[in-house]
Structure 1
Amino acid sequence: MKSAVETLNPTRVRLTVEVPFEELKDSLDAAYKKINQQVTVPGFRKGKIPARVIDQRFGRGAVLEEAVNDALPKLYQSAVEEGELNPLGQPEVDITDLKDNELLAFTAEVDIRPEIEIPDYSGIEVEVEAAEVSDEEVDKSVEQLRERFASTTVVERAAAEGDVVKVDLQAKVDGEVLEDGVAEGIDYTIGSGELLEGIDDAVTGLEAGGTATFTSELKGGSAAGKEAEVSVKVETVSSRELPALDDDFAQLASEFDTLEELREDSRKRLGQQKKYEQATEAQEKVLDALLELVEVPVPDKLLAEEVGTRKDNLVNNQLGQMGLDLATYLQMQDKSEEDFDAELKEQAEKGIRTQFVLDELVSTEKLNVSQEELTEHLMRRAQSSGMSPDQFAQAVVEGGQVPMLVGEVARGKALATVVEKATVKDTNGETVDLDDEDETAETVEAGADAEAGEQAAAADAGETEEQGSGEDQEKKSEG
């Protein structure tokens, strides 16, 4: 077999392959055997029909077609290996010549992983928010805990801000009551902003049994985004009483004996949260700085597939579960479909570029993934998916997703390597030490803006590199 590679652009090549006919012998034999099992010819036992009879009865062309279909994947793979290519997705194959007993020639166009040069990244500098906890933030945290232990008492008076009202609601659009627009016995705290816009003004001043009507834009359901006429009836009015902020409250709401101990614990927890947020911010900014240093061409076909995957996931999964369609979602977001598509394309392109760059770093830095690291990552993924580790592991193995998970861990380690060499300072000018942040490497997908499709570009490109397959993988969506 002879093969040649023509570079069409930095991410696409054309393979030209010529195969002497004798190299098709195994595929021809397999073709005759397969046809033998599928057809019946009077006078011959099934599976024992001579090749010349098959040629006469069914045509040599049918045999050649079967043989070529059998041989092409293997011949293509051999040409890929000979050309030392990293293909992405399935090739577009065109048989250019087929001469019986002489020659098979074909071309195959396929996207390839671009060659990337990683420059010196040790000079990257980023600034992140200082991980400071103010007294006001501690006060807010304790107050939120206090709110959880508030007691309510039914009162015989008009409702006021801060009261809890039990209400019945009915929403109409164009004079028709919506099937999903009726709700009864809902508890609502006036002023919380947790229900429909306009309801605070409507119920304030009403006593039990009082009714009112107001107009509000629906945020969900079958008529999301539409103006509705909402009727509200107050069943009961209850006042909320907050416990006193003292040591007794600390003992009631926590394992601490004093309010001061409770406040210190809140400060510690807020500090840990801010350190994690600081590490995530550092990672995202370092990643952005790294991408600015590297020229990464993106295959058009891969980008289009990734955009399609993300959009499909958003429309059919996330929005579908909320009872929304894309038009309603865009209306709620005050975006045109053109703006939405542009944003989606930008996110998808960044995700692909990130994956290419980090995979190249994995290679150049010779990073390996241990069984322990893979297991820890699997446990975290299982927890976020709501599945038990055993269930998640079984789903990963059965779905052939193990290489994808290995790739995620390796890319996390690659980004952690870059972050480690970067200079990270906070807004106070202090150098930030991220060595204690165990989770830093685990948020690589967020840094890649893969919230919209955590695995699409990674799985598509990663799996094709490993297996020569262009099959799409499961993805998290945008939104």
Structure 2
Amino acid sequence: MKSAVENLNPTRVRLTVEVPFEELKSSLDAAYKKINQQVTVPGFRKGKVPARVIDQRFGRGAVLEEAVNDALPKLYQSAVEEGELNPLGQPEVDITELKDNELLAFTAEVDVRPEIEIPDYSGIEVTVDAVEVTDEDVDQAVEQLRERFASTSPVERAAAEGDVVKLDLEAKVDGEVLPDGVAKGIDYTIGSGELLEGIDDAVTGLEAGGTATFTSTLKGGSAAGQEAEVTVDVETVSARELPELDDDFAQLASQFDTIAELRDDSRKRLEQNKKYEQATEAQQKVLEELIELIEVPVPDKLLEDEINTRKHNLVNHQLGQMGMDLATYLQLQDKSEEDFDAELKEQAVKGIKTQFVLDELVSKEKLNVSQEELTEHLMRRAQSSGMSPDQFAQAVVEGGQVPMLVGEVARGKALALVVESVTVKDSNGEVVELDDEEEGAETVEAAETAETSGDTAEAPAAEQATEEKKEG
């Protein structure tokens, strides 16, 4: 077999392959055997029809077609390996010559990973928010904890902000009650903003047994995006009572004996959370700076497929679960379809470029992924998917997505190497030293986020596999 590679552009090649006919012998034998099992010829036992009879009865062309279909994938793969190519997606194959007992010739056009040169990135410098926890931050954290331990008691008065009301709701569109527009016995805290827009004004001032009607734009369900007339009945009104912020509360709400110890612990937790956020911000900014340094051509077909995959996942999985279509989503987001498509393309380009650059770093630095690193990453992904680790692992294996997970971890390690080599300062001008423990998991997540601002070229398949597993 002879093969040659022609570069059509930085991301697409044409393979020209010529195969002497003798190299098709095994595929021809397989073709005769397959046809033998499928046909019946009087005078011959099934599977024992001679080749010359098959040629006479069914035509040599049918045999050649079967043989070529069998041989092409193997011949293409051999040409890819000989040319040391990294193909992306399926090739477009064209048989240019087929001479019986002489020659098979074909061309295959396919997208390939572009050659990327990683420049010196040690000069990158980014600025992130400083880790600062104020007394007001601590007050807010303790107050949120206090809210969780609030008690309620029925009152015989008009409802006011902060009260908990038990409600029955009925929503109508064009005078018709919606199939999913009735809800009973809902507990709602006035002012929380957790229900329909306009409900706070409607129920404020009502006593138990009171009724009000208001209009609101529905954000989900069968009539998402439409304006509905909502009737609300107040069953009960209850006042919320917050516990005193004293040592007794500290002992009730935590393992600490005093409120001072509880506040100290809250401050430490807030500092840790802000360090986590700071590390994520640093990694995202470093990654953005790195991508800006490098010229990364994006294959047109890969970009088209990536955009379609992201759109499919949004419409059929995310919005589908919310009972919403794309038109309603765009209306709620106040976006035109053109704006949406432009955003989707921008995210897809960023994701593809990120993956190409980090994969090149993985190759250049010869980074490997240990079983322990893969297991830790799988556990995190399982947690975010809402599945058990065993369920998630099974879905990933069945979907053939293990290499995708390995790639995510490897790209995270590549990003970690870059972050270690650059300068990160906070908004106070101080150099930030990221903890190794924080950096490990975060860089994987930072790389994923950049790739998946809607999901990478590979990631949606994994998400879809786990979605299907949950639905199944």
TM range (shorter): over 0.9
In structure 2, the partner of 1:19 is 19
Cα contact 1:167–1:234 (8 A) shared by 2: yes
Match of 1:215 in 2: 215
Q: CA deviation at 1:446?
A: 4.2
* Bigger shift: residues 51-60 or 21-30: 21-30
Once the two structures are superposed, the pairs formed by residues 26-105 of structure 1 within 5 Å of their partners are 26-105=26-105
Query: Aligned runs of 1:181-200 on 2, under 5 Å?
Result: 181-200=181-200
Q: Is the 8 A contact 1:122 1:421 kept in 2?
A: yes
Partner-residue secondary structure (3-state), 1:457: coil
| 2:11 counterpart letter in structure 1 | T
Distance in 1 between residues matched to 2:320 and 2:389, nearest whole Å: 28
Unaligned runs of 5+ in 2: 467-472
What is the SS of the residue equivalent to 1:184? strand
Q: Which residue of 2 aligns with 1:439?
A: 441
What is the distance in 2 between the residues matched to 1:53 and 1:423? 76
Mapped contact 2:399–2:462 kept (Cα < 8 A): no
RMSD of Structure 2 on Structure 1 (CA):
1.6
SS of match in other structure, 1:146: helix
Aligned to 1:248: 248
SS of structure 2 residue aligned to 1:93:
strand
Q: 1:457 and 1:250, CA in 2 relative to 1: closer, same or farther beyond 3 A?
A: same
Counterpart position of 2:111:
111
TM-aligned CA deviation for residue 32 of structure 1: 0.7
Which residue number corresponds to residue 464 of structure 1?
none
Residues 473/211 of structure 1: CA separation in 2 closer, same or farther (3 Å cut): closer
Read off the aligned partner of 1:113 and give its amino acid letter. R
Contact 2:149 2:242 in 1 (8 A): yes
Q: Displacement of 1:473 after TM fit?
A: 5.3
> 1:188-217, CA deviations, whole angstroms, 9 ceiling, x for partnerless residues?
111111111111111111111111111111
Paired residues for 1:312-327 under 5 Å: 312-327=312-327
The residue identity in structure 2 corresponding to 1:14 is R
Distance 1:295 1:275 in 2: 32
Residues 287 and 447 in structure 1, CA contact (< 8 A), matched pair in contact too: no
* Separation (CA, whole Å) in 2 of partners of 1:401 and 1:358: 19
Deviation at 1:449, TM superposition (A): 4.7
> TM-score by structure 1 length?
0.94
Structure 1 residues 142-291: aligned runs within 5 Å: 142-291=142-291
Residue identity matched to 2:324: L
Distance in 1 between residues matched to 2:168 and 2:269, nearest whole Å: 39
**Cα deviation, residue 447, structure 1:** 4.0
> For the residues of structure 2 that align with 1:345 and 1:372, how far apart are their CA atoms?
35
CA distance in 2, matches of 1:397, 1:193: 42
Does the Cα contact within 8 Å between 1:355 and 1:458 map onto a contact in 2?
no
Q: Name the residue aligned to 1:381.
A: 381
**Alignment match, 1:6:** 6
Provide the C-alpha distance between the structure 1 equivalents of 2:74 and 2:419, rounded to a whole number of angstroms: 42
C-alpha distance 476-340 of structure 1, shift in aligned 2 (>3 A): farther
Gaps of 5+ in 1: 461-471
Alpha-carbon contact 2:197-2:217 (below 8 Å) kept: yes
Return the offset for 1:258: 0.5
- Bigger shift: 109-118 or 233-242? 233-242
Superposition TM-score, scaled by structure 2 size: 0.95
Q: What's the counterpart of residue 429 of structure 1?
A: 429
* Per-residue deviation, residues 63-98 of structure 1 (Å, max 9, x unmatched): 000010011111111111111111001100011111
Does the 8 A contact of 1:16 with 1:105 survive in 2? yes
Distance 1:125 1:334 in 2: 36
- What is the aligned partner in structure 2 of residue 141 from structure 1? 141
2:413 is aligned to 413
Equivalent position to 2:450, from 427, 448, 451:
448
Q: Percent same amino acid among aligned pairs? A: 84
Structure 1 residue 442, shift from structure 2 partner: 2.6
What is the CA–CA distance in structure 2 between the aligned matches of 1:162 and 1:473, rounded to whole Å? 43
Q: Could you tell me how far apart the structure 1 residues matched to 2:184 and 2:327 are?
A: 29
- Please say if residues 170 and 231 of structure 1, whose CA atoms lie closer than 8 Å, have aligned partners that are also in contact: yes
